[in-house]
Amino acid sequence: MDLLKLHRRRSRVSELAYIGMNIALAAVIYLIVTTSQSPWLAFLMVLLSKWRVLAVRPRFWFANLIANMVDIIVGISVVVLLASAQGSTVAQIVIALLYIGWLLFIKPRSRRSFVAFQAAVAVFIGITALSIVSYAWDPFFFVLAMGGIGYVVSRHVLGSYEEPHTTLYSMIGAFAFAELGWVSFHWLMAYPVPNSGSIQFSQLALFTTLLCFIAERAYNSYHRYGSVRRADILPAIILTASIMVTAYVFARLFSPDTL
């Protein structure tokens, strides 16, 4: 009985320590960006928070890095958004709180639905941040970054299905993202967010996330039934088409800026 009580006490202490460290990480990143007005040290903090990736034998480093890339993409993107929200304290606080929510409630989950949601968050926020910082980049680097995001999120989702051809399908996902990046680079549409500094959500991030939703539903249907059933993907297609049309109409009516 004493051993059980001791184990429970240690579990509670470990849980509280985990919560405290994640809140502290978000708070430190927030303070660095808001006080120094430079994202570089905050980028370093995000990378240092993943020190356990290297706390194994070197032959496992690459596998661990890939497994943690979704979290790294989200962390780096949060830093970009915090830096872009300079001048709007409320927006920066909201971003920091959302990051805490990611660290505590979304990232630790391993159920297939949560894994898909983690990938969707990484796609949307990652491409949004990429669109904000890449307006002066050479297209090659933008396309390369898009391909990297596609590879990481594809591998993240496929890993929850124990897919034997994960690497091949992830490369296909990377190619699809790169193609979207190449086509969209010269006419990226952005939707300004009121009272948020210079944050703008890119149309590419929205559309890519929606297309990934259709792809995930199609793969899930194929994995379960051996074929893609219309009933499984039709709701996703209708939702995606509806949002795309609405976004296009919104863009025409309010004339958002082009990144």
Residue 128 is encoded by which pair of tokens? 């949004």
In a domain, 45, yes or no: yes
Distance CA 30, CA 95 (A): 9
CA 179: distance to chain centroid?
Answer: 19
Question: Which residue range(s) make up the domain with 169?
Answer: 2-254
**To 10 degrees, the CA torsion angle through 43, 48, 50, 55?**
150
Q: Is residue 51 part of a domain?
A: yes
Sequence-distant (6+) residues with CB within 8 A of 242 are none
Using an 8 Å Cβ cutoff, are 183 and 207 in contact?
no
pLDDT tens, position by position, for the chain (259 residues)?
A: 444 454 465 577 778 888 999 999 999 999 999 998 779 999 999 999 988 887 778 888 888 888 899 999 999 999 999 999 998 999 999 999 999 999 999 999 999 999 999 999 999 999 999 999 988 889 999 999 999 999 999 999 999 998 899 999 999 999 999 999 999 887 777 778 887 888 888 889 999 999 999 999 999 999 999 999 999 999 999 999 999 999 888 777 765 444 4
pTM across the whole model: 0.91
259 assigned to some structural domain: no
**Mind giving me the DSSP string for 135-164?**
TTS-HHHHHHHHHHHHHHHHHHHHHTTT-T
Could you tell me which residues come within 8 angstroms of residue 19 by beta carbon, excluding any fewer than 6 positions away? 104
- The answer to whether the CB of 169 falls within 8 A of the CB of 163 is yes
Residue 73 lies in a domain: yes
Give domain status of residue 153, yes or no: yes
Domain count, the chain: 1
- Burial status of residue 126 (CB atoms within 10 A of its CB: 0-12, 13-18, 19 or more): buried
| 207 domain residue, yes or no | yes
The Cα–Cα gap between 254 and 193 comes to 13
